[in-house]
Amino acid sequence: MAEADANEAIAPMEIDREDVNMQEHTIHHNNDRDPDDRSDYGPSEDSDGGGDHWEVIVTPAPSLPPTPPQSPSPDDSEPEDDLARVTANDYREYDHWFGEDQHELDEIVLEMLTEEEMDSIKMTAIRLFGHISERNYERIRFSFRDKVQFLSVYRTTRKLALLSGIKPVLVDCCKNVCHAFTGPYVDETVCSVCKEPRFDSKGRPQQCFEYLPMNPRLLGFFKNPEMIEKMYYRARYTQEEGAMDDYIDAKRYKKLAKSNIVVDGEDLGVQYFSGSRDMAYAVMTDGVKIFEQAHQEASTCWPIMAVNLNLPASDRCKLRNLIPLGVIPGPNQPKDFDSFLEPFVEEALEQARGIEAYDVTRRQKFTLRAHPIIISGDMQAIKHVSQMKGPNGKAPCRECETVGVYHHGCRSYYIPLANPTDNPNAIPDERLDPDAPPNTITTLDPENLPLRTTQRIAEQLEMMDNARTQREFNNLARDFGLTGHSILDRIPSICRPDSYPHEFLHLFLLNHGPQLISLWAGTYVLGEDDEYTLSAEPLAGLFQISQPAGDSTAANLGVSG
């Protein structure tokens, strides 16, 4: 009954308001016209020109003043809506509604692209994938300005960033790139290494590292039917006994596929890659020089990117399919790489737990899980992200525990497989197997090296953690070839050393291959000994045989397994 009464009270008010509006509208038009005026179509046939004509409207009496709002009576269980009951919570709720509406409006505006913006985006794609420099892009833009309008590189980039919805995460870091202010450094206002202040005089960070979130881009893959179809490569791959054609044939992947996902000690009860849309990816990093002519120390930065391993090998490393994660700024080499990797690790843990995604081909939501299984880079890069001594260390290899021999002239360690004939005592006794029989020749069998294992590394780290003095810690670190725990160890799909395979590009194409050719061609400096130098005729024959092979070399030849 109360609801019916309220409706009856509201309905006349709405009608009255409508009538008043009509009257005000009529008054507005009659004030400026003569009663004898006619419409554009002339007077009506029934018109007699008198005061009763439809064009002559009498001004109505003024409306009554509105009734002031009444306070609800104490007995009214459901009082009428009015301002008397509006509270601060109501205003906050209105602000929330307005914020949601404004967000939807912003999305609509973003999706309304002009022809100029569409042309600029297409041209930007051509510039990026066609390897056109920014300077040449500006030349094209200027030359054809009378026929087609392209936005500047900056404006197009900004528009694409807004459309993508991907916002970089700004992480404060030391001015000299000692570390990022994350983890144990998060509360520092002065760098604990170089003593540089974190902020400038205006309270702004002196240096920042931009991390590009990965999850929004993984979700975006499943909005593209063509990409979805390609990413079924991993799920549809057929393993053959004894074959080693891709990472899926490797022991590490097979072991993961039979294991449950455990995040921070919590067993999720789900096996790795049990879903056909689960993703595997690799993470790559390396130090690069930005400018060829610049001083090396002043032009070095560290890009970090991911490679989608769900794609076929022929598509993985194409520019359009790479997933940039960020660039650690230079010019100096970071002292603590882990601090820059923390945003990635947090996101990887979220991926392991599962994120809600939508598959446009199946028109359904699903839980997407993605797992990094390979960390790739040259030996200098890997020693930082894996927290190992690396090259020039006493135990430099990340795959085996072989101990090097110190060369006093070069002041570095190296690993000969056997004693040189002119120096039979070069390899120290500590290289010997303690269980070997007496008079054993100090050599290494390259097919039976003392390999590192995850358990062995864990034991060595425990010994380092229990060191009573810094000196004892340093000695253990030197002997084990480790520098400490790695933040990447928190990711359940990553473990040392299995997740850090040697990279084919640096190992063979940039090192062994060129050095071997130089050795054969006689351009490698050997002193007076030219035993390994080939004559011109067999060398030319070798080149002639190998040249055509480049056209038929498999795209996945360099995939680490």
CA distance linking residue 271 with residue 208, whole number of Å: 38
- SS3 for 82-138 is CHHHCCHHHHHHHHHHHHHHHHHHHHHHHHCCCHHHHHHHHHHHHHHHCCCCHHHHH
Helix (H, G, I), strand (E, B) or coil at 435: coil
Percent of the chain with pLDDT over 90: 39
Q: Quick one: tokens of 399?
A: 């795959």
Distances 183 to 188, 466, 470, 487, 517 between C-alpha atoms, Å: 10, 22, 22, 10, 47
Helix (H, G, I), strand (E, B) or coil at 218: helix
**Residue 316 φ then ψ, to 5°:** -60, -45
Contact 369, 279 (CB under 8 A): yes
Type of residue numbered 133: S
What's the confidence (pLDDT) of residue 146? 86
What's the confidence (pLDDT) of residue 558? 44
pLDDT at 315 over 60: yes
List the single range of 36-40, 75-79, 268-272, 283-287 with lowest mean pLDDT: 36-40
What's the confidence (pLDDT) of residue 377? 86
Q: Quick one: tokens of 402?
A: 């072989």
CA distance linking residue 42 with residue 317, whole number of Å: 78
Mean pLDDT for all residues in the chain: 78
Tens digit of each residue's pLDDT (9 = 90 or more) over 328-376:
988 888 999 999 999 999 999 999 999 999 999 999 999 999 999 999 9
What's the confidence (pLDDT) of residue 298? 52
- Look at 83 and 291; give whichever has higher pLDDT: 291
